[in-house]
Chain A
């Protein structure tokens, strides 16, 4: 099928961070260098070329950008300083905005002011809401953790209900976007349709890649993978603690070692990873930190803020400073909510879904292709 060129696409991707892609003269060094590039998923040269030519539909259908871990090895070797690694990063941002049907992602990536404004707005609404609902009946000088937001007793924290509600909304948004991703990369193109058996056979890859980022470990430098793994596992630990053990977490002021020790370990992991990444971006010490998009800073600062306020309210509570602990807690929630409702479905964080999905889809495609070939061979043999 003839692909229609849209010559301005390269310029459009500039705001997503693709600054040097025009310099690429298609030598293919980058594809030879990348450890993840393997037929039929050869990159970064091919997606870069699609981008130069403005082959939008081919790009939308590409899984390759998600198979890249931004190690920057290719950028170091590129003879034209065309920053192929950075182009892959910007393609992920662009794809995120394509998968997202609401248009918010596109807005945020193209304007950091809009993203900051949205975060501030959600933060203010959250804070105001909690203050209005939570402390209209209760006493702000008395720390009651999530219970403080309960208008009148009851076993489930209001926050807890809110948590689950939010998780539901998040899931719906993410799933819709994931479905769009599936449509672009597997569904739309008749040649790429795969049988159910292929989907089932590769299913195990989803949790595997989600929890281990196994492929990231294949990159030449191991520290970025370790840092990323620590960040991700700490985050998941924290999520589990908050979703399932919120009551125990908020108990006190006595320390409940069953939840507080893992909580503190996770918080330390989060803080350390965030600080390493921030430092790296400031100093540009790793190749993948050489270029930072506004969305990277927003993401890291927000995460730092949330972790810091979380730890602080915990400490204040242990110290018996209830009023301060309550105020900090509200401030904490004012960060958590925008992080979850804006960053996860529309921002950088969405890659937690897209990357494992891409690895999964890639295998599905390969599986389906292999099945088709062997069917042909069998038919030929018969």
Chain B
């Protein structure tokens, strides 16, 4: 893990746009304790986006990118939707898949990467909207979990098809009326976290992106567990402020309101037994590392 992987040819360095020079000089690639606190102080792995102003997806994107344990060796797989507007600005390898196919593409990709790079850790992370994950791509989502494919699936749940103007999605709440779903949803929000657990996911979290430290911990765990044990699923509430009639500044409050204990995005977590053991080992190693660092600092 290091910036060695992204060196600019010295003879052409001066002609590279400054964005790329900054990226190889001060991005957090290779930094062991990288996290959301690096946002704004070192070169971000996403600086611009073309989402609506204040869209919580943009916060979610930043926290996720800042939390990937291994960004230079990570390939993200996206799908059509508002998320796909951001991927061209992301300094992590990414593939845009046909709408709904993301988990099938990621399955093949993960397997191919482990054959092609047997000695290198390569993480695959799917990031798609609720329409792509739960409706049109449900088959691919579930089959990847049944097969125990070792990658993380992140769903940006904004409870509708935002990019096409507000159609009903499986993750929409019952009774909700959207611009292009005037009748109101007739059935309940699909319980995908529970389905994920029953389908073999080893780590499942349902939450909002109001707390960056929490998102950081969840993303890190999910990627590391997927790498070592099996599929993981993270469902993040990223409200479409445009569709629910909120202003740019109101996304955060909307998330806070929706994560109260009785609300649909109250923090929910499932960890399988092997994953629990893995996390415990990880925590012990982390403690050891920190103690050693402290000792070293004391000696110095």
Q: Do A and B come from one complex?
A: no
> A residues touching B (Cβ–Cβ < 8 Å)?
none
Residues of B with Cβ closer than 8 Å to A? none
